[in-house]
Amino acid sequence: MQRYILHRTWQMAITLFALMTLMFFLFRLLPGDPTMTVVSSAMDPRAQAAMRAQFGLDRPLLEQYLAYLVSYATFDFGYSFHSSGRVSDMLAGRLVNTLVLILPSMIVAYALGTLIGALLGWYRGRRFEIAAVLLATAVQAAPLFWVGMLAILFFSIHLGWFPPGHIVPPGAFPDPTWRMYLSPEFFHHLALPFVVHTAYQLSYPTLLMRSSMLNTIGEDFVEFARIKGLRERRILFGHAARNSLLPVATTIPMILGWALAGSVVIETVFSWPGLGLLMIEAVQRSDYPVVQATFFLIAILTILGTFAADLLYGVLDPRIVYD
Amino acid sequence: MLEARGLAKRYPVVTGLRSLFSARRDSYVHAVDGIDLSVERGEVLGLVGESGCGKSTTGKLLVGLEQPTAGTIALDGEDLGALRRRDRRAFYRRVQMIFQDPYGSINPMHDVFSAVSRPLVYQGMRDAADIRRRVLAAMARVGLSPPEVFAGRHPHLLSGGQRQRLCIARAIVLEPRFLVADEPISMLDVSIKWDIIRLLRRLVGDEQLSMIYITHDLTTVPTLCHRVAIMYLGRIVEIGTPDEVLRAPKHPYTRALVASIPSIDPHRKRPPAQISGAIHSAIDLPTGCRFRDRCPIGDAGCAAQDPALHAVDGRAVACLKASSTAPAATADTVLPSGGA
Amino acid sequence: MSWIVQFITAVRRTASGRIGLYVFAFFGLVAIFGPMLAPYEPFERVYHDGRLVRLASPSAQHWLGTTSLGRDVFSQMLYGARQAMIVGCATAIGVAAIGVNVGLIAGYFGGRIDAVMMRITDIFLGVPFLPFLIVVLAITGRSTTTIIFAMTLIMWRAAARVIRAQVLSIKQMPFVAAARTTGAGDFTVLYREIAPNIMPIALVNVTLAMAWAIITEASIGFLGYGDPSVTSWGSIIHAAYAAQMMYRAPWWVIPPGIAIMVLVSSVYFVGRAYEHVVNPRLAVQ
């Protein structure tokens, strides 16, 4: 087991390293001088040189690369081209906003999804099951941003129940302390994106759990449980569902990654000030240090999440032998 | 026609990256541990033993599905090791295998005609008419008649016996001289087994084919085989004609095998089980005779020396205790008469 | 190519499969013929009596109304269908071509080749796709080819894994050994004996890849990183978003989403109908 952890940690490190290197060279070697945005050619050459020096853009590539690796290892992400502020400061709040939306949503979606999926698999053939499957497929087929927009159109614009986006009412200053996350306005703003995201992510674990259940129900041990005289509910949850969980659990590593990647979309639709939206804004402004840092953060969260999920999977399945 | 000398195959216990770290890296499973075989033209040699004795591995070695770790195999005098590397195709025109599992050994995506014609196609034959003629002929010979009707069927619609006939048709369509039949009937219904045995006997007789017939079922041996070899833990412990070996077995293991054949006669007295324990692991072989910890007549002398096959009464036995004077310990065994 | 026939026959066996197939075929026809039949050009600003027809609600002249720049939404939808189909099919083919072959070779030959190939797929396991793609597009420019290329590069991994696992279990079956005793070389055995048996699961994966590709391409378009020279359903919604008109012109925003939903659903239905071949337990008794 320890060897496996070591092996996976090594793998993570390599992935991260490869990614960071790729990002670095992507920005610097491909067409589009990153300095263009900051250093206008209309500026005095000495001012240009000074700006370049400030951002370390005048040093040889290898030196920049090493400096980049070192600073990222200490979570020092440099300074924004756009606002000249420290990137790490900008990221901290945004990171929390993203996590506060995505994590609970994924947890709820998965918990609810496996439950519903188990029920659907068990009551296969009934009308509600067929309808639910069709609904789940349709939801999976609809793009998230469009579903979000529809939700806003209906629940916010039309019914007026929820605000159409953002994290605080327009015009209000976001409370820079953690108290913001406990305020009723926050929850009011969180509600719609949370529900939309959860509903959207629900369909995949539901369908997966259902097909896993269908496989399990055919197995002999379920018949045996029936013969033993156990109550239906006990068989359903204690035996069939528990054994069907495995394939669903296997997908958790991937889902985490998808959710974080998808945060870009949902944050854009709801103007939710998270990492994803920050990245989009930074790309638009060609603010490369911010882009690099946000991407790095998203990537490292995804990789760590995958790793944690993998370990969890190993704990859940006694049949797993790590080699 | 076919001769194997000192044939051996061992598998490392740990493979892959682990082998660098494991303490067991020098342990091997000695599946086949030095056997000598010879089969003449038109002869059927039976290879009998319990699960794990190495008979299937031997079959795979002879057919080229595995490479021996020691020893040589010669087909009509030619060393197969060199031959196989040079020209696989030519080799498989001379040697073919009939597999044990009639369900798994046919590609589910093929229909009957396709399955039987594959060998011809893979050998490079292009003439569709020629292929068709050969395939239908092979199908007719194995009893899948009328061939035209069977040709379009899918294997999963055939019965076990029909599928095995299909496998045999596939094996003979290239007109090989030598067949290795790896437990061809063990997965078939009892009522079908004898049909297949008779089919094999007919094929062997008609074409003067040589065959090695691998089985764990002794009762089928006298009908089909000219000689039979008993294998135990990777070695051959006795060879002789079925009559000799089954009516008067000289090796204690053979005696136990023969005695364990079930009999319909309720009055037949069966001697109590002669051997104890279970088959030894093929990894750490005991010193001396490898059968000694189960043998009813083994003694200290058996631990010291590993018996080789030596001639006793016109056949070969690998037992220190075997001699012409040792009484045949079998009671009258009940065997089906040849030609059942 | 009997597996194509087998595929279509199997799909047509269930009602949902048939519906999916016909709807998909319908979109295919729209993709091919739509632009020819479109009443307007997608980027054409339409004038009536010298005035730009901005934000017109659906009418006889503009079935789905117009955008804030006076463009006919219905025509844009038709052109968007072509983009969606091209992207979906191209990605699906790419994923199939790479994923199937990598899976077959890695699974059959094992050893170092397998290890190397699996390491390559694992390296990019943690890459969040959408952000990555946006960054790449921002740097290399926004083109359909780049998008298809990037999506294929990400999606083939999953297909390769699944196929490799399947090959590993098929490899053990006696008919593979039987095929080797006919004198067939390794590649013959791999492509003529094993490959036909993995086609079902490969096809299921291909449908998933297609569905994902269509949605992802729409998302990219929505975020504003779609190919500016073509109209895609995602970019239609993006235009509404950029104009801040999304909640005031539902005719502009709703149809593209519905189109995506219907097309992708049809692909899912087809995939699920075919899954019954792969996994008989799922089939209705």
Taking residue B111's Cβ as centre, other Cβ atoms within 10 Å add up to: 18
Report how far residue A274's alpha carbon sits from residue B108's, in angstroms, rounded to the nearest whole number: 53
CA B147 to chain centre: 29
Report how far residue A180's alpha carbon sits from residue C51's, in angstroms, rounded to the nearest whole number: 49
Comparing A31-35, A163-167, C21-25, C209-213, which segment has the lowest mean pLDDT?
A31-35
Cβ of C183 and B101 within 8 Å?
no
Residue scoring higher pLDDT (C203 or B263): C203
CB of C174 less than 8 A from some CB of B? yes
Taking residue A182's Cβ as centre, other Cβ atoms within 10 Å add up to: 10
* Confidence check: pLDDT of B279 > 90: no
Of C95, C278, C117, C101, which is closest to residue C190 (Cα–Cα)?
Answer: C101
Cβ of C183 and B93 within 8 Å?
yes
Report how far residue B119's alpha carbon sits from residue B130's, in angstroms, rounded to the nearest whole number: 13
CB of C15 less than 8 A from some CB of B? no
Give the minimum alpha-carbon distance from C44 to chain A in angstroms, rounded to a whole number.
25
CB of C178 less than 8 A from some CB of B? yes
Cβ of B119 and C183 within 8 Å?
yes
Question: Is C107:C165 a contact under the CB 8 Å cutoff?
Answer: yes
| Binding partners of B (≥3 Cβ pairs within 8 A) | C
Of B174, B173, B179, B176, which is closest to residue B62 (Cα–Cα)?
Answer: B179
* Confidence check: pLDDT of C283 > 50: no
Cβ of A19 and C127 within 8 Å?
yes
Predicted pLDDT at A217: 78
Predicted pLDDT at C182: 87
| B126 token code pair | 């292009």
Strand partners of residue C66:
C72
Question: Is A154:A148 a contact under the CB 8 Å cutoff?
Answer: no
pLDDT, tens digit (0-9, with 9 covering 90-100), for A296-318: 888 788 777 777 777 776 666 65
| Binding partners of C (≥3 Cβ pairs within 8 A) | A, B
Among C177, C183, C192, the residue with its CB nearest the CB of B92 is C183
Among C175, C181, C183, the residue with its CB nearest the CB of B107 is C175
Cβ of C261 and A214 within 8 Å?
no
Residue scoring higher pLDDT (B169 or A81): B169
Angle (deg, nearest 10), helices C195-222 and C101-109: 140
pLDDT, tens digit (0-9, with 9 covering 90-100), for C80-129: 999 999 999 999 999 999 989 988 988 888 777 777 777 776 666 667 78
- Give the domain C23-49+63-284 fold: MetI-like fold (1.10.3720)
Rank A52-66, A210-224, B296-310, C234-248 by mean pLDDT and report only the highest: C234-248
* Confidence check: pLDDT of A154 > 80: yes
Domain positions in chain C are 23-49+63-284
Mean pLDDT of A258-276: 86
* Confidence check: pLDDT of B275 > 90: no
Among C2, C179, C182, the residue with its CB nearest the CB of B123 is C182
CB of B64 less than 8 A from some CB of C? yes
Predicted pLDDT at A74: 75
| Binding partners of A (≥3 Cβ pairs within 8 A) | C
Among C128, C215, C247, the residue with its CB nearest the CB of A152 is C247
Angle (deg, nearest 10), helices C111-123 and C144-171: 140
Based on the number of CB atoms within 10 Å of its own CB, is B152 exposed (0-12), middle (13-18) or buried (19 or more)?
Answer: exposed
Comparing A185-194, B201-210, B303-312, which segment has the lowest mean pLDDT?
B303-312
* Confidence check: pLDDT of A187 > 50: yes
Give the minimum alpha-carbon distance from C168 to chain B in angstroms, rounded to a whole number.
15
Cβ of B99 and C193 within 8 Å?
no
Characterize A130-144 residue by residue with b for buried, 16 or more Cβ atoms within 10 angstroms of its Cβ, and e for exposed.
Answer: eebbeebbebbbbbb
* Confidence check: pLDDT of C168 > 80: yes
Mean pLDDT of A318-323: 51
Q: For residue C77, which amino acid is it?
A: M
Mutate one of B122, B156, B167, B187 to test the C interface: name it (highest C CB count within 10 A).
B122
Mean pLDDT of A171-194: 76
Mutate one of A264, A286, A290, A307 to test the C interface: name it (highest C CB count within 10 A).
A264
Beginning with the edge strand found earlier in the chain, give each strand of the sheet holding B315-317 in spatial order.
B95-98, B178-182, B210-215, B44-48, B227-232, B235-240, B315-317, B310-312
Residue scoring higher pLDDT (B314 or B22): B314
Could you give the domains of chain B?
Answer: 41-68+76-216 (3.40.50.300), 242-265+272-340 (no CATH)
* Confidence check: pLDDT of C261 > 90: yes
Mean pLDDT of B313-322: 73
Give the minimum alpha-carbon distance from A308 to chain C in angstroms, rounded to a whole number.
12
Residue of A nearest to C248 (CA): A153
CB of B88 less than 8 A from some CB of C? yes
Give the minimum alpha-carbon distance from C163 to chain B in angstroms, rounded to a whole number.
17
* Cis check: omega of the bond before B146, within 30 degrees of 0: yes
Which residues, numbered 149 to 168 in chain B, qualify as contacts with chain C under a Cβ-Cβ cut-off of 8 Å? 167
* Confidence check: pLDDT of B131 > 50: yes
Residue of A nearest to C138 (CA): A283
CB of B170 less than 8 A from some CB of C? yes
Among C134, C215, C218, the residue with its CB nearest the CB of A283 is C134
pLDDT, tens digit (0-9, with 9 covering 90-100), for A17-54: 877 787 777 766 544 455 555 555 566 666 666 666 66
- CA-to-CA separations, B224 to A104, B139, B201, B333, C270, in angstroms, rounded: 72, 21, 6, 18, 54
* Confidence check: pLDDT of B123 > 90: no
B72 membership: H or E segment, kind and range: strand B70-75
Among A14, A31, A294, the residue with its CB nearest the CB of C123 is A14
Report how far residue C184's alpha carbon sits from residue C207's, in angstroms, rounded to the nearest whole number: 32
Predicted pLDDT at C70: 81
Give the minimum alpha-carbon distance from C50 to chain A in angstroms, rounded to a whole number.
33
Give the minimum alpha-carbon distance from B165 to chain C in angstroms, rounded to a whole number.
14
Rank B184-193, C22-31, C45-54 by mean pLDDT and report only the highest: C22-31
Q: Is residue B94 left, alpha or beta, with left meaning phi > 0 and alpha meaning psi from -120 to 50? A: alpha
Contacts of C174 in chain B (CB under 8 A): 99-101, 104-105
Question: Computed from CA positions of residues C85, C90, C91, C93, in that sequence, does the dihedral angle turn out positive or negative?
Answer: positive
Residue of B nearest to C110 (CA): B16
Predicted pLDDT at A210: 85
Give the minimum alpha-carbon distance from A229 to chain C in angstroms, rounded to a whole number.
25
Cβ of C124 and A15 within 8 Å?
yes
Report how far residue A264's alpha carbon sits from residue C138's, in angstroms, rounded to the nearest whole number: 15
Contacts of C179 in chain B (CB under 8 A): 107, 118, 122
pTM over 0.90: no
Predicted pLDDT at B15: 59
Task: Give the DSSP letter string of A160-178.
Answer: -SS-SSSSS-TTSPPPSSG
Report how far residue A199's alpha carbon sits from residue A206's, in angstroms, rounded to the nearest whole number: 11
